[in-house]
Amino acid sequence: MDGDMKKASGTVTIKDISRELGVSSVSVHRALKGKEGVSDELRAKILETSRIMGYVENYAAASIKRKTERIAVVLPKDKWEKKIYFDYIWLGIKKSAKDLKGLNVEIIPFICDNEAQQLTQLKEIAKEGSDVYGGVITISFTRAPEVLMQIQRLLAQNTRVMVIDDHIKSPEGLICIPPREVQVGKVAAEFATLITPEEGRVLVSIGRADSKIHEGRLNSFCDYINQHKPKLQLEFIKGYTRSMNRRGELYNNACDALDKYEDICIIYALTSHDNAPFVEALERRKESSRVALIGTDLNEETLEFLKQKKMSAVIDQNPYQKGYMAFKIMVDCLIKNMPVPDVMLCKIDIALENNAEIYNVQ
């Protein structure tokens, strides 16, 4: 077999491959789809022939012949004045769905503000079964056993499940886009050590108390600071909230710390919900320009903060890209029957005033 086998004009079809090999179209279809019913030897021969002939499956055409594939998206939505973290995950998913709209795939949104709502929604999806939902995209709040049990139930029903912002190794078959919390914390700390004096005080928010992800990010940030600039003193600021409250507990605790200590040289907002309260606390303080502020996630809000020099840098976890990637991977699994890794990594960026505009802030 050589390049002469390639079709002179038009698109190579399953019938062309079956005619070339003298086998049935059913056997070619089974081999290309990875289904049973053909021997390993024949499968290998069909796959090699299809490659040489330049066969490319027309997924859009094939989607016309099958039912609509539904993907349930079970995620929170932010309640801030401007788009911040989860809003960008939703935007990425919707953009990916738009780019793949010819494949007859439908998003079914489920908004969960907390883990209890998520559990109820996952139970509802599992009850409907894989005939209704081919895939589920969700997050992990606290890895509650009840939620993991529902994920396992979905997987047992042959529903593909993708978890954004966690790396859950069990149950098997789960696809994860991990938060890379250790790397995020280290990147923030490395930048902090580059712009701080040898001695001084660092304020850092601690995130949500029951979040293993926030805990891991905080610990990696502190470990790096302690190792590379041990004379810097760390002060932890409590008050995480997802509500639209710029002047809540975090703001008040930050103001107290700024009033108490004169040697504060830098502040790290551990989550995107901490950005605005820290900015407002700093604006209240006299001579606030002496204190650098590292934010989390580039969005409408932090882009303005960078332009206005209210932040020194933003560590961006690319939530938009996570959403886009999650939906595309799910389509690869459900429609294209492509094997995908259990873990898919998303890059981490540092946005400064002079490069922030190059990022995709919708």
pLDDT number for residue 2: 46
Do 269 and 278 contact (CB within 8 A), yes or no?
yes
Kindly tell me if the per-residue pLDDT of 45 is higher than 90: no
Tokens of 216: 């891991």
Q: In 112-171, which ranges are continuous DSSP H helix?
A: 115-128, 145-156
Do 157 and 130 contact (CB within 8 A), yes or no?
yes
Kindly tell me if the per-residue pLDDT of 207 is higher than 90: yes
The region of weakest confidence among 159-168, 186-195, 240-249 is 240-249
Kindly tell me if the per-residue pLDDT of 59 is higher than 70: no
Over residues 276-303, the pLDDT tens digits come to 999 999 998 766 568 999 999 999 899 9
Domain layout of the chain by residue ranges: 3-57, 66-180+320-346, 181-316
Kindly tell me if the per-residue pLDDT of 34 is higher than 80: no
Q: How confident is the model at residue 8 (pLDDT cuts 50, 70, 90)?
A: very low
Do 53 and 6 contact (CB within 8 A), yes or no?
yes
Residue partners of 360: CB distance under 8 A and separation at least 6 = 320
> Could you give the CA distance from residue 165 to residue 29 in angstroms, rounded to a whole number?
37
Overall average pLDDT of the 202-231 stretch: 96
Domains 3-57 and 66-180+320-346 share a fold: no
> Could you give the CA distance from residue 8 to residue 10 in angstroms, rounded to a whole number?
7
pLDDT number for residue 273: 92
pLDDT number for residue 9: 45
Tokens of 259: 């009033």
Q: Which CATH number describes the domain made up of 3-57?
A: 1.10.260.40
The region of weakest confidence among 64-68, 159-163, 272-276, 300-304 is 64-68
Overall average pLDDT of the 222-239 stretch: 98
Integer CA distances (angstroms), 33 to 36, 37, 137, 334, in order: 9, 11, 24, 12
Kindly tell me if the per-residue pLDDT of 32 is higher than 80: no
- The pLDDT mean for the chain works out to 88
- Give the containing element (helix H, strand E) for 74: strand 69-75
Indicate the SS3 state at residue 112: coil
Q: In 66-105, which ranges are continuous DSSP H helix?
A: 85-99
- Is domain 66-180+320-346 in CATH 3.90.1640.30, yes or no? no
- Residue with the larger pLDDT of the pair 160 and 54: 160
Do 193 and 226 contact (CB within 8 A), yes or no?
no
- Angle at Cα 162 formed by Cα 158 and Cα 163, nearest 5°? 135
- Domain boundaries 181-316, CATH class: alpha beta
Overall average pLDDT of the 178-183 stretch: 96
Overall average pLDDT of the 221-229 stretch: 98
